[in-house]
Structure 1
Amino acid sequence: MDEGFSSNREFDFVDFKALGRITGRPAHEWDFYIIKELIDNALDAEEAVWRQNPKQTPILKVRIEFFNQQLLVEVSNRTQFPVELIPKIFATDQYTSRKAFVKELTRGALGNALKTLLGIPYALRNRVSGDWKPDQKPLSIICKQQEYLPRYIVDTTNQTITFDYQTKPSNKNTEGTIIRVLLDYFEQEQPRTLDDIKGLARQYHCCNPHGNFQWIVELEGEEWSVEYAANQNWSNKFRGTAPIHWYSMTDFQNLLGALYRKQVSNQQYDQLSVQTICSYFDGFDNQDGDTENDDLTTTVTG
Structure 2
Amino acid sequence: MPKPTPKLERTTFITSKELEYFSVKELSRELGSNSVKWPLVLTKELIDNALDACETSDIAPAITVTLEGTMVCVADNGPGLPESTLRASLNYNSRTSDKAHYISPTRGQIGNALKCLWAGPFVYNLEYGNDERGSVTVTTPLYSYEITVAVDKIQQKPKLIPVLLDREFVKTGTLIEIEWKAVAGYIPVEIADFYNSDEDEDKDGEIEDEEVPPPRTFAEEVQFLLESYATFNPHATFYLRRDGQTITVAQPLLPGWNKWRTDDPTSPHWYDADELRTLIAGYISNEKGTMTVREFVKEFRYLSGTAKQKAVVAAANLSGQCLNDLVSNDDIDISKVKSLLKALQVASRPVKAAMMGLIGAETLSRRLSEIDGAVSEGIQYVKVPSEDARPTLIEVVFGVRRDDNGGRRMRFGLNCSPAFECPVQGLESFLQYGLSIDPDAPISMAVHIMRPGLEFTSRAKSMLT
Q: State the TM-score bracket (shorter-chain normalisation).
A: 0.7 to 0.9
CA distance in 2, matches of 1:243, 1:128: 45
Report the counterpart of residue 72 of structure 2 in structure 1: 72
Separation of aligned partners in 1, 2:168 and 2:302: 44
- In 1, the alpha carbon distance for the partners of 2:65 and 2:131 equals 31
Give 1:263's match in structure 2, choosing from 287, 303, 307.
Answer: 287
SS in 2 for 1:272: coil
| TM-score under structure 2 length normalisation | 0.53
- CA deviation profile, 1:215-272 (whole Å, cap 9, x unmatched): 2123xxx8551142112266223354332121111111111111112226xxxxx533
Question: For the structure 1 residues 124 and 174, does the alpha-carbon distance in structure 2 shift closer, same or farther, using more than 3 Å as the test?
Answer: same
SS at match of 2:66: strand
- 2:130 is aligned with 1:108: no
Query: Which residue does the alignment assign to 2:34?
Result: 26
Query: What is the distance in 2 between the residues matched to 1:210 and 1:103?
Result: 24
Whole-Å separation in 2 of the counterparts to 1:125 and 1:78 = 30
Task: Give the counterpart letter for 2:18 in structure 1.
Answer: E
Note the C-alpha offset of 1:126.
3.0
> Identity, % of aligned pairs?
22
Counterpart code for 1:161: P
> Would you say the 8 A contact 1:97–1:111 is kept in 2?
yes
Distance 1:223-1:155 versus aligned 2 partners, 3 A rule? same
Tell me if the contact between 2:239 and 2:246 (Cα under 8 Å) persists in the aligned partners. no
Aligned-pair Cα RMSD in Å:
3.3
Greater shift, 37-46 or 8-17, is seen at: 8-17
Greater Cα radius of gyration, structure 1 or 2: 2
Give the Cα–Cα distance (whole angstroms) in 2 for the partners of residues 216 and 178 of structure 1.
Answer: 14
* 1:35 and 2:43 are equivalent in the alignment: yes
2:277 maps to a residue whose letter is Q
> Which residue of 43, 63, 66 corresponds with 2:66?
63
Aligned to 1:277: 296
User: For residues 150 and 298 of structure 1, do their structure 2 counterparts lie closer, same or farther at Cα, with a shift above 3 Å needed?
Assistant: farther
Give distance in 2, aligned partners of 1:197 and 1:110: 19
Residue by residue, what CA displacement relative to the aligned partner does 1:129-175 show, whole Å, maximum 9, x if unpaired? 766334xxx11221233102333341234422244423235413322
How far residue 274 of structure 1 moved from its aligned partner, in angstroms, is 2.0
Distance 1:130 1:273, change over 3 A: same
* 1:277 Cα deviation from its structure 2 partner: 1.0
Aligned equivalents of 1:256 and 1:132: distance in 2?
42
Tell me what 2:97 maps to.
Answer: 97
**Alpha-carbon spacing, 1:17–1:263, altered in 2? closer, same or farther (3 Å):** closer
Residues 242, 125 of structure 1: CA spacing in aligned structure 2 closer, same or farther, 3 A cutoff?
A: closer
Output the amino acid matched with 2:97: S
Q: State the 1:39 CA deviation.
A: 0.5
SS of the residue corresponding to residue 236 of structure 1 reads coil
Within 5 Å, which residues of 2 pair with 1:223-242?
Answer: 223=245, 225-232=247-254, 235-238=257-260, 240-242=264-266
Q: State the match for 2:143 in structure 1.
A: 146
| Offset at residue 40 of structure 1 (A) | 1.0
Matched residues in 1 for 2:156 and 2:331: separation? 30
The alpha-carbon distance between structure 1 residues 245 and 165, as it changes in their structure 2 partners (threshold 3 A), is same
* Partner secondary structure for residue 78 of structure 1: coil
Which structure has more RCO (C-alpha within 8 Å, separation ≥ 6)?
1
Most deviating of 248-257 and 236-245 = 236-245
Pairwise CA distance, 1:15? 1.8
Q: Secondary structure at 2:138's aligned position in 1?
A: strand
Distance 1:273 1:257, change over 3 A: same
Between the two proteins, the alignment pairs up a number of residues equal to: 281
Structure 1 stretches lacking a partner, 5+ long:
51-55, 265-269
Contact preservation (8 Å) 1:62, 1:215: yes
Q: Cα distance 1:188–1:290, how it changes in 2: closer, same or farther (>3 A)?
A: closer
Contact 1:16 1:123 in 2 (8 A): yes
Report the 3-state secondary structure (helix = DSSP H, G, I; strand = E; otherwise coil) of the residue aligned with 1:106: coil
> Counterparts of 1:197 and 1:272 in 2: how far apart (Å)?
44
Residue range with higher mean Cα deviation, 103-112 or 247-256: 103-112
Residue 85 of structure 2 aligns to a residue in which SS? helix
Partner of 1:188: 186
C-alpha distance in 2 between matches for 1:42 and 1:281:
25
Q: Corresponding residue for 1:53?
A: none
Question: Contact 1:209 / 1:234 at 8 angstroms: preserved in 2?
Answer: no
What amino acid does structure 1 have at the position aligned with 2:140?
C
1:201-216 correspondence to structure 2 within 5 Å? 201-216=226-241
Amino acid at match of 1:254: T
Amino acid of the structure 2 residue aligned with 1:149: E
Contact 1:42 1:76 (C-alpha < 8 Å) held by counterparts:
yes
**Mapped contact 1:89–1:111 kept (Cα < 8 A):** no
Describe the shift of the 1:130–1:226 C-alpha distance in structure 2 as closer, same or farther (beyond 3 A): closer
For residues 223 and 96 of structure 1, do their structure 2 counterparts lie closer, same or farther at Cα, with a shift above 3 Å needed? Answer: same
| Cα pair distance change 1:157/1:171, threshold 3 Å | same
Q: Structure 2: which 5+ runs fail to align?
A: 1-9, 189-215, 311-318, 333-465
